[in-house]
Structure 1
């Protein structure tokens, strides 16, 4: 991902006075004398500085959301209500530590939005420390909480400050290994529904255990119990997306039972997730290097979830990393 540090002017919408993108689902403006406002879809983009919140905001803007950057939490509800009295139905705001003491204020602002009948969702954008350090160093800028300390000190302080809101987020987006195109695909899968977000969206992510666990995984599956195609010379250079490797992995004696039984587990879990209002699910499938077994299994799980009526997409974190 090439996004660097966050920048912007407080309370200034990137799109100017008019929303960008399709607005086919907007309804007529209310009578100016009326005190009632219709509910809006609201996305609050927050997270670590340098993780790519502004890039996420630009993607939402391209998808037809009206986006405001660097909005103080106290102004969130007034801005949403102002937009609701006009012709907006999808509103997004980038809110972060550039607004001081924002964490507790943001949690209260989100509570007030819900109490007012709106539909707020929180997207938490983050990345690994070493990735954030590299991005800041490449842009030669200071972290907003760095002060007289080191860059790492600023990142550590911000992580601690964000603990509460991170735990309440509806969607976590780890940009450590995403380029701008993959970030766009991730957000399109979650938000590009003409204003009608499905009850549950699933990402099935393959990964290599030797590169570490995905931080944003809700469920983790270990595919290392299956024979490794790496040790089959004619398969070694291929990946789990190739038919020969896929057939080898899925054709193993235990693979079918494993997939069937874990699909039953998912069938048990999914209704509970829906009841609890969970909109996004990340199922991580790991093998040693994230090249063969996990890729084939992740693709198959995505296919099965799609057959269950879940909007599912497979993403391969470590494919091509070797």
Structure 2
């Protein structure tokens, strides 16, 4: 499988988004969000029929300009069919992207138990067995995705807002960045493309007058960047990000998530994420800043 081909797009051919991912992670919600944005949405389309759907859209003379297709892993020939379809689309110069939705195992188990439905791949086993089997089957597809969204901590409205943010506009930039601060003690963000560890810096948590504040406060930010190596790290990593993002642009990647972590996700990671987001914005990227764990105790 390959990334999208933006150099040889055929005039009049619809833009294509393929929505896939873990069962229970929100594929139907994402599809409904795309439909509300004016995309022509087809649910559970066999991968082998995707090129034919795009061809039919091209014959509408612009009436169907954007198509979203939801596919899942059911079927023994799923990956062979999808790989063949993607190869055919790339050879035709179709602009296509893959969105992969996932969530943690415990969240998926709770969602299936909440609706009292079996996992489609659990057979005679338990729900976790089906989840493990599906995660293994989808590993390659996740690695090829243009956008990975972890829905573990998202409700229906937040997921639809995330889809709005990505797909509402027709003039979206070539590369969009999400900078997310987080706490290592709460776990790594599973949708991160790059991870930065700020735990090499002294922790403001141990300064009584700084402990109640966050990295968004000037006093905490000043303390963090007054530490040896902090400014140098920011400068060097910003230079590295420039090289990486330029490479992403050349490869046609549309989205990148940079996760910036410290112990609790309240002080150092927040301060560093704020500065890195500013640097990316100055570098011409449309940048979203998220502080995942800042409000946790």
Pairing of 1:44-123 with structure 2 (within 5 A): 44-86=18-60, 87-98=63-74, 101-123=77-99
After superposition, the Cα gap between the structure-2 partners of 1:45 and 1:143, relative to the gap in structure 1 and judged at 3 Å, is same
The residue aligned with 1:170 is 146
Q: Which of 302, 305, 308 is the matching residue for 2:280?
A: 305
Are positions 1:288 and 2:267 aligned together? Answer: no
The residue aligned with 1:152 is 128
Q: Report the Cα distance in structure 2 between the residues aligned to 1:221 and 1:271, rounded to whole angstroms.
A: 19
Which structure has more relative contact order (CA 8 Å, sep 6+)? It is 2
Q: Report the Cα distance in structure 1 between the residues aligned to 2:158 and 2:224, rounded to whole angstroms.
A: 26
1:253 CA displacement: 4.2
5+ residue gaps, structure 2, are 1-9
1:142 CA displacement: 0.5
**DSSP-derived class of the 2:17 partner:** strand
Pairing of 1:1-322 with structure 2 (within 5 A): 38-86=12-60, 87-98=63-74, 101-194=77-170, 196-322=171-297
Q: Report the Cα distance in structure 2 between the residues aligned to 1:182 and 1:298, rounded to whole angstroms.
A: 22
1:100 CA displacement: 5.6
Q: State the aligned residue count.
A: 286
Q: CA RMSD in A?
A: 2.0
Instruction: Judge conservation of contact 2:13–2:54 (CA < 8 Å) in 1.
Output: no
5+ residue gaps, structure 1, are 1-35
Q: TM-score, with normalisation over the residues of structure 1?
A: 0.82
1:191 CA displacement: 2.3
1:153 CA displacement: 0.9
Q: Which shows bigger deviation, 169-178 or 42-51?
A: 169-178
1:185 CA displacement: 4.1
1:106 CA displacement: 1.8
Q: Report the Cα distance in structure 1 between the residues aligned to 2:118 and 2:82, rounded to whole angstroms.
A: 24
1:103 CA displacement: 2.7
Q: For 1:244-282, what per-residue CA distance to the aligned partner results, in whole angstroms no more than 9, with x for missing partners?
A: 433333343432222111111112222222122222111
